[in-house]
């Protein structure tokens, strides 16, 4: 089968079952439902109003496939990959950058993760733990809580195999 021509459509809606289908407006008042062909391992669903390139499949009547989406570079340089998620309004949320110098950057709206060996700062809020106990010998024990916030520096000595950054 060959490919004939291409059309750019605007995403109106989706159908997500076993596969991702986009409902596109390809010209005023004319909508088409087409399967979305992403790269292997990418199950991204486009947002409403995204622009998608669809192609007609040769040898079929009215059979089209969505093969690509118009995206902004997000600062990517040659050889780099930038993955990002968006909310239903198209606003960027989590960003994963694999840079051409071998670094990997993860930004999830300012949230951070730590690994074994990283230095951490711990803050214990006032009145959350007992710093001394008085009484005894028949008298009731009375605990005195910490009266101010307390901060400690430390090192993570054990970590997990997976990391979740978010709420």
- Domain extent listing, the chain: 3-69, 72-113, 119-155
CATH topology of domain 3-69: OB fold (Dihydrolipoamide Acetyltransferase, E2P) (2.40.50)
Q: Taking 60 as the threshold, does the pLDDT of residue 114 lie above it?
A: yes
> What digits encode the pLDDT tens for the residues 155-167?
888 877 766 666 5
Q: How confident is the model at residue 52 (pLDDT cuts 50, 70, 90)?
A: very high
Q: Taking 80 as the threshold, does the pLDDT of residue 38 lie above it?
A: yes
Dihedral (CA of 56, 60, 63, 69) sign: negative
Closest by Cα among 86, 68, 67, 84 to 76: 84
> What digits encode the pLDDT tens for the residues 119-140?
888 999 999 988 888 887 888 8
CA angle at 45 for the pair 64 and 16, rounded to the nearest 5°: 75
Distances (CA, A) of 90 to 25, 81, 161: 18, 19, 31
Provide the mean pLDDT of the chain.
Answer: 84
In contact, 73 and 34? CB cutoff 8 Å: no
Distances (CA, A) of 35 to 30, 63, 64, 129, 143: 17, 10, 8, 58, 66
**Confidence at residue 59, expressed as pLDDT on a 0 to 100 scale:** 66
Number of helical H runs and strand E runs in the chain: 0, 12
């Amino acid at each position: 089968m060959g490919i004939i021509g291409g059309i750019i459509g605007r995403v109106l809606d989706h159908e997500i079952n076993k596969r991702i289908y986009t409902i596109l407006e390809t010209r005023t008042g004319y909508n088409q439902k087409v399967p979305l062909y992403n790269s292997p391992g990418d199950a991204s669903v486009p947002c409403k109003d995204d622009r998608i390139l669809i192609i007609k499949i040769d040898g079929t009547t009215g059979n089209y496939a969505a093969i690509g989406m118009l995206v902004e570079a997000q600062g990517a340089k040659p050889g780099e990959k930038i993955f990002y998620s968006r909310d239903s309004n198209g606003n960027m949320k989590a960003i994963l950058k694999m840079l051409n110098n071998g670094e990997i950057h993860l930004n999830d709206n300012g949230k951070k993760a730590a690994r074994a060996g990283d230095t951490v700062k711990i803050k214990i809020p006032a009145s959350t733990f007992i710093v001394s106990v008085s009484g005894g010998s028949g008298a009731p024990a009375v605990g005195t809580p910490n009266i101010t916030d307390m901060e400690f520096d430390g090192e993570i000595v054990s970590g997990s195999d997976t990391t979740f950054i978010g709420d």
